[in-house]
């Protein structure tokens, strides 16, 4: 028996079992996705949006905050000049978000650019605005990830791409994003589009990449990480376009809410993030290092430690992009995957609905099934033979949706809107994904270096 046949023997031996695993995993994901899509369709078809909000003000709370941003941006001069005034926000929150005026305020500390961008929402009744907002978000994120799938080996085909989106629909992050009306789908679309333009390495598309990067500033804690690949690889067109786009957004914000609110925003958001006077932050319910440190120390100290580690992570990420991303296009997909994982894990403000972004590492680096994963390892015996961290990374991503629901079912309280007992395990999963992406990057870099040093014969 040849050496290659001997290497393929374990795959052939376990092929039936692996295929059963894949089929079972897809079946579970499909069932959960169907339940989610049916529930979502029911809310729309039966016009249950307002009734659900009346039962619990937490449902669609974040969307109602976006809606309030639009309402305040459409208000008179006094309202627009005082969008960060707690008392004024409380008035709008009580009217539009059905919050209790006697409870701590669900303070709105969104960036100033959010206010003009959300003005279109305020033109419609809230229920109609929500359905349009969510439908457009789905269409945008699906379209953007479809473009990004052109850079993938395994997800170019429509069937595998459909399976990936079934997994997204079946995940706890998607359920949480819908229940709160979060901006996560638009963020996924923007980041997928940005990396699609980035990976194409076209001078013309670099301008589009920069404009897209500017729009991600609606979540500034992520925008900083996303700018690192362009900075470290000296993609000046991207940076120039991003700066120009950001200037336009800030000018729009200044014309809407005034320059003073832009200048004061860093101070406002820092105070709102750490004060006990406001509600809505819940650092212990995040899915990052900050939430993990909250287990061992006070929230304000956890914030400082996590922020310091976040800065260190940005420096390390910049070094990796500088070292591998300038001339090694074969490592770019892995670097993008690592960037997203590091962003989610070390950002000072990461919630479970943002884990939808893990779709991007899965799309670029994960085989479409475990059997495909094993086959790809045996297909390239020299570089991918029995590398267990990559198998563990594949399994973690493949089982992300079912494991997420297992965490939910086993956690006390079982409240999909909150509870640290549900969200905290996702922080450790994010840490695991970061570590595995780093190990895989090092392995691929070493393998590539070995190939380049092997003398050619013939």
Q: Among all chains, which residue has been given the structure tokens 């070292």?
A: 323
Question: What pLDDT score was predicted for residue 326?
Answer: 77
Contact at 8 Å (CB) between 167 and 400? yes
- Looking at the predicted structure, is the pLDDT value of residue 10 above 60? no
Q: What whole-number distance in Å separates Cα of residue 135 and Cα of residue 274? A: 34
Question: What pLDDT score was predicted for residue 107?
Answer: 86
Question: What pLDDT score was predicted for residue 234?
Answer: 94
| DSSP string for residues in 269-327 | HHHHHH-SSEES--GGGSSSHHHHHTTTS-HHHHHHHHHHHHHHHHHHHHHHHHHHTTT
Q: What whole-number distance in Å separates Cα of residue 122 and Cα of residue 99? A: 19
| DSSP string for residues in 82-94 | TTT-HHHHHHHHH
H helices present in 56-156, as ranges: 61-73, 77-81, 86-96, 114-117, 126-148
- Looking at the predicted structure, is the pLDDT value of residue 325 above 90? no
Among 230-239, 387-396, 440-449, which stretch is predicted with the lowest mean pLDDT?
440-449
Q: Are strands 278-279 and 105-106 parallel, antiparallel or unpaired?
A: parallel
Question: What pLDDT score was predicted for residue 25?
Answer: 85
Q: Mean pLDDT throughout 323-352?
A: 89
Split at pLDDT 50, 70, 90, the class of 380 is: low
Question: What pLDDT score was predicted for residue 120?
Answer: 94
Q: What whole-number distance in Å separates Cα of residue 176 and Cα of residue 263? A: 32
CA angle 439, 329, 245 (to 5 degrees): 105
Contacts of 153 (CB under 8 A, 6+ apart): none
Percentage above 70 pLDDT, the chain: 87
Neighbours of 173 (CB within 10 A): 26
Split at pLDDT 50, 70, 90, the class of 383 is: very low
Q: Mean pLDDT throughout 37-62?
A: 87
Percentage above 90 pLDDT, the chain: 54
Q: Mean pLDDT throughout 395-406?
A: 91
The predicted-structure confidence for 246-290, as pLDDT tens digits, reads as follows 999 999 999 999 999 999 988 888 887 776 666 666 788 889 999
Return the higher-pLDDT residue of 8 and 44: 44
The predicted-structure confidence for 92-111, as pLDDT tens digits, reads as follows 888 888 777 677 778 888 99
- Looking at the predicted structure, is the pLDDT value of residue 457 above 90? no
Contact at 8 Å (CB) between 331 and 444? yes
Dihedrals phi, psi of 35, to nearest 5 degrees: -60, -45
Contact at 8 Å (CB) between 373 and 351? no
* Average pLDDT for the chain: 86
Helix or strand (DSSP H, E) at 105: strand 105-106
Question: What pLDDT score was predicted for residue 1?
Answer: 45
């Amino acid at each position: 028996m040849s050496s290659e046949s001997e290497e393929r023997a374990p795959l052939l031996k376990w092929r039936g079992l692996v295929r059963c695993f894949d089929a079972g995993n897809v079946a579970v994901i499909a069932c959960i996705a169907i339940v989610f899509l049916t529930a979502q369709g029911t809310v729309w078809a039966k016009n249950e949006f307002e009734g659900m909000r009346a039962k619990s003000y937490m449902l669609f709370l974040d969307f109602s905050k976006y809606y309030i941003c639009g309402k305040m941006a459409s208000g008179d001069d006094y309202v627009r000049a005082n969008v960060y005034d707690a008392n004024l926000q409380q008035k709008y929150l009580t009217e539009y978000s059905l919050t209790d005026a006697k409870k701590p305020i669900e303070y709105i500390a969104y960036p100033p650019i959010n206010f003009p961008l959300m003005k279109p929402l305020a033109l419609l009744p809230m229920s109609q605005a929500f359905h349009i907002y969510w439908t457009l978000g789905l269409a945008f994120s699906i379209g953007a990830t479809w473009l990004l799938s052109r850079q993938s080996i395994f997800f170019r085909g429509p069937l595998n791409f459909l399976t990936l989106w079934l997994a997204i629909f079946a995940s706890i992050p998607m359920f949480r994003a819908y229940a709160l009306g979060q901006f996560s789908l638009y963020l996924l679309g923007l980041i997928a589009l940005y990396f699609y333009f980035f990976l194409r390495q076209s001078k013309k598309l670099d301008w589009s990449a920069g404009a897209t990067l500017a729009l991600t500033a609606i979540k500034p804690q992520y925008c900083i990480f996303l700018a690192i690949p362009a900075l470290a690889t000296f993609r000046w067109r991207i940076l120039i376009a991003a700066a120009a786009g950001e200037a336009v957004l800030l000018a729009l914000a200044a014309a809407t809410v005034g320059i003073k609110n832009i200048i004061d925003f860093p101070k406002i958001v820092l105070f709102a993030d750490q004060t006990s006077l406001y509600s809505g932050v819940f650092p212990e319910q995040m899915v990052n290092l900050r939430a993990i440190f909250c287990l061992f120390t006070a929230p304000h100290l956890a914030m400082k430690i996590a922020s310091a580690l976040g800065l260190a992570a940005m420096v390390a990420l910049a070094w990796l992009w500088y070292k591998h991303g300038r001339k090694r296009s074969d490592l770019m997909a892995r670097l993008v995957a690592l960037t997203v994982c590091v962003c989610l894990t070390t950002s000072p403000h990461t919630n479970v609905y943002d884990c939808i972004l893990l779709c991007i590492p899965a799309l670029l680096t994960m085989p479409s099934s475990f059997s495909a994963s094993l086959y790809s390892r045996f297909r390239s015996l020299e570089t991918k033979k029995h590398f267990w961290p990559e198998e563990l990374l594949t399994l973690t991503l493949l089982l992300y949706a079912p494991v997420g629901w297992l965490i939910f079912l086993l956690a006390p309280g079982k409240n999909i809107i909150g509870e640290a007992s549900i969200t905290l395990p996702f922080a450790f999963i994010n840490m695991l994904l970061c570590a595995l992406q780093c190990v895989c990057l090092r392995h691929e870099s070493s393998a590539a270096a070995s190939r380049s040093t092997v003398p050619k014969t013939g």
